[in-house]
Structure 1
């Protein structure tokens, strides 16, 4: 089988869904499992619903209606008749969502988040499946929550590989076109879990691993993996080939084209990953597979905005030793701070981290009991793989550098936001 993943940008409107259909007509659709994300910015819109739910905002119903209106317009643009079964199927899903918001008793934000945000993928794949059937492209709609089993770490669930492998290998119908959801799983009580933001790529890799797939293709609105984000760098270059090891390095440092957890299961079975354009589906794109590390060999730039630079120093000028560092990392882990850079000296320790769960104030109050804490908010972290003098100048020019770290192949620079 082949596994194809289509993200939110590819199904953001009726024209996008029609284009996915056309891509399948060009590339073939037998023995294919499609992993599809929520449509457009639906996840963001459902996050507003969750915020309104917890704030007991009078805007709650209006925010639900916004999501409903958006999907209803896509249905109207796809189907000629308003009594098509797709309308009723989507209406029932919104009834389920509203029922949950009305009856939920759990105060756990992360639990509620997963139950609500997951509806984006369920609705998206329901619409796509109905449209394909409408066009005569028969398919099997798969509820991913019945296949990918996880623990109950809501919003960042850990996969139970043994159970997931058994579910997928035994029950996925080969020779068919299968359509399922990215990003989602379920725990042992069958409550929905999510695999972390942008986790649909990971979903594709999980299915590929369990199915011994021929390949995974991630379809995007770019021609493949570029050596830099064109929003921040001019003259970005298409990378034709990346080795698994190099791709894992790039993902580790924050390259957003490939999700960090995606590559490991593929590398274990040497399943090639292709990143291709859904606008020009017959172009070769980028191959991530066994082979040369990087072709062409060129500096690769990764930018992470809105980071937090935390610097700790001892209150009594004593050394910051292994025991101190162990305690610091235990707290960073507890408060879910995603660390991207570490630097230490005899009496100081700095990290550049992503406070994606908004826990820094609590963390800071605990750290302040043992250390002097200084910090910079909203900094930018630039990483250059295979750097040279020209690439260093491109990053550091006209910026205030707060921290710099260099190893053999990689340079990282923290700068004040510009």
Structure 2
């Protein structure tokens, strides 16, 4: 069985959905499990719904209407008859969403987030499944929440691999086209959970692992894995082949083409991963498998924007020892700060981290009790894998560098965009 994953950009409008249909006609669809993300920027739009709901904002209904209007336009563009059953199916999903918001009693933001934002994937797969059947491509719509079971860490759930593997091995029918959702799972009480932003790639890897799949293909709007993000770097080149190890390194440092958690289950069973263009589906793209680290061998550039550089020093000029570092990391973990770089000296300790849950203010109030805390918001972390003198000079040019760190294969710098310190 093959696993295909199509992200939000590939199904952002009616033309995109028609293109996915055409891609499957070209590359084959028998014995394929199709993982699909929410359409376009729907996840962002539903995050606004969550915020308005939690803030008791008067804008709640209008934010829901925006999501409705967007999906309804796609339906009108895809289906000739407004009496088609897909219109009723989609309308029921919005009724379910509004019913949840009306009856929910939980004040837990992350719980509400998962119940609401998950609607994006349910909507997209419902529409795509109906459209494929409408065009004569028979498929089975499958609710991923019946298969991928997790704990109750809402917004960043941990997969229960044993239960998930049993569910998938027993109940996934082969020899047919299956359409399911990325990003989602459910806990033991069948409440929806999510696997973290960009978790649809991870969903594809979970199914591939549990099905002993032949391969996973991630379909993108780029020709494959590039050595740099073309939004930030000129003259990015296509990498034809990457080893699992190199891909995991790139993902760890923040390369966004492949989700960090995606690679580990695939590597364990040596299931090849392909990254291909949904605009040119017959081109080879990039293969990720056991073998040569990089082909061609070249410097790879990664940038992470909107980072937080936190520097701690002891109040009495004493050394920051192992017990201090252990306590600091425990707090970073507790407040869900994703650390990307560490640097320490005798009396100071710095981390470059991602405050994706907005917990830094609370964390700082705790750290202030024991340390002098300085910080810079909105900094950028630049990483070069397989750097050369030329690439190192180019990346450092015209930047106000706060931290520089070099190892045998990797150079990282933290550069200041906007200073906020105290």
Bucket of the pairwise TM-score, normalised by the shorter protein: over 0.9
Question: In the alignment, which residue of structure 1 is the partner of 2:402?
Answer: 402
Q: Which runs of 4+ in 1 moved over 6 A?
A: none
User: How far did 1:417 drift?
Assistant: 1.8
User: How far did 1:3 drift?
Assistant: 0.2
1:351-400: CA deviations, max 9, x gaps? 00000011111111110110010110000000000000111122110000
Q: After superposition, where does 1:22-61 map in structure 2 within 5 Å?
A: 22-61=22-61
Question: In the alignment, which residue of structure 2 is the partner of 1:155?
Answer: 155
Question: In the alignment, which residue of structure 1 is the partner of 2:358?
Answer: 358
Question: In the alignment, which residue of structure 1 is the partner of 2:19?
Answer: 19
User: How far did 1:179 drift?
Assistant: 0.2
Helix, strand or coil: the match of 1:230? coil
Whole-angstrom CA distance in 2 between matches of 1:359 and 1:312: 17
1:50-70: CA deviations, max 9, x gaps? 010011111100000000000
Whole-angstrom CA distance in 1 between matches of 2:411 and 2:398: 18
Question: In the alignment, which residue of structure 1 is the partner of 2:175?
Answer: 175
Q: After superposition, where does 1:77-96 map in structure 2 within 5 Å?
A: 77-96=77-96
Question: In the alignment, which residue of structure 2 is the partner of 1:277?
Answer: 277
Whole-angstrom CA distance in 2 between matches of 1:393 and 1:98: 54
1:276-308: CA deviations, max 9, x gaps? 000000000000001100000000000000000
Q: After superposition, where does 1:60-79 map in structure 2 within 5 Å?
A: 60-79=60-79
Question: In the alignment, which residue of structure 2 is the partner of 1:254?
Answer: 254
Helix, strand or coil: the match of 2:83? coil
1:345 aligns to 2:353 (yes or no) = no
User: How far did 1:174 drift?
Assistant: 0.1
Whole-angstrom CA distance in 2 between matches of 1:25 and 1:114: 34
1:212-261: CA deviations, max 9, x gaps? 00000000000000000011110001000000000000000000000000
Question: In the alignment, which residue of structure 2 is the partner of 1:106?
Answer: 106
Helix, strand or coil: the match of 1:412? strand
User: How far did 1:205 drift?
Assistant: 0.1
Q: After superposition, where does 1:185-196 map in structure 2 within 5 Å?
A: 185-196=185-196
Helix, strand or coil: the match of 1:262? helix
Helix, strand or coil: the match of 2:260? coil
Whole-angstrom CA distance in 2 between matches of 1:197 and 1:240: 27
Whole-angstrom CA distance in 1 between matches of 2:102 and 2:66: 18
Question: In the alignment, which residue of structure 2 is the partner of 1:97?
Answer: 97
Question: In the alignment, which residue of structure 2 is the partner of 1:387?
Answer: 387
Helix, strand or coil: the match of 2:98? helix
1:193-223: CA deviations, max 9, x gaps? 0000000000000000000000000000000
Whole-angstrom CA distance in 2 between matches of 1:98 and 1:190: 19
Helix, strand or coil: the match of 2:298? coil
1:121-167: CA deviations, max 9, x gaps? 00000000000000000001010000000000000000000000000
Helix, strand or coil: the match of 2:173? coil
Unaligned runs of 5+ in 2: none
Whole-angstrom CA distance in 2 between matches of 1:394 and 1:46: 40
Question: In the alignment, which residue of structure 2 is the partner of 1:322?
Answer: 322
Question: In the alignment, which residue of structure 2 is the partner of 1:137?
Answer: 137
1:150-190: CA deviations, max 9, x gaps? 00000000000000000001100100000000000000000
Helix, strand or coil: the match of 2:76? helix
1:73-121: CA deviations, max 9, x gaps? 0000000000000000000000000000111000000000000000000
Quote the RMSD (CA, aligned, Å): 0.5
Whole-angstrom CA distance in 1 between matches of 2:234 and 2:374: 34
Question: In the alignment, which residue of structure 1 is the partner of 2:417?
Answer: 417
Q: TM-score, normalised by structure 1?
A: 1.00
Whole-angstrom CA distance in 2 between matches of 1:135 and 1:323: 63
Q: TM-score, normalised by structure 2?
A: 0.99
Helix, strand or coil: the match of 1:309? strand
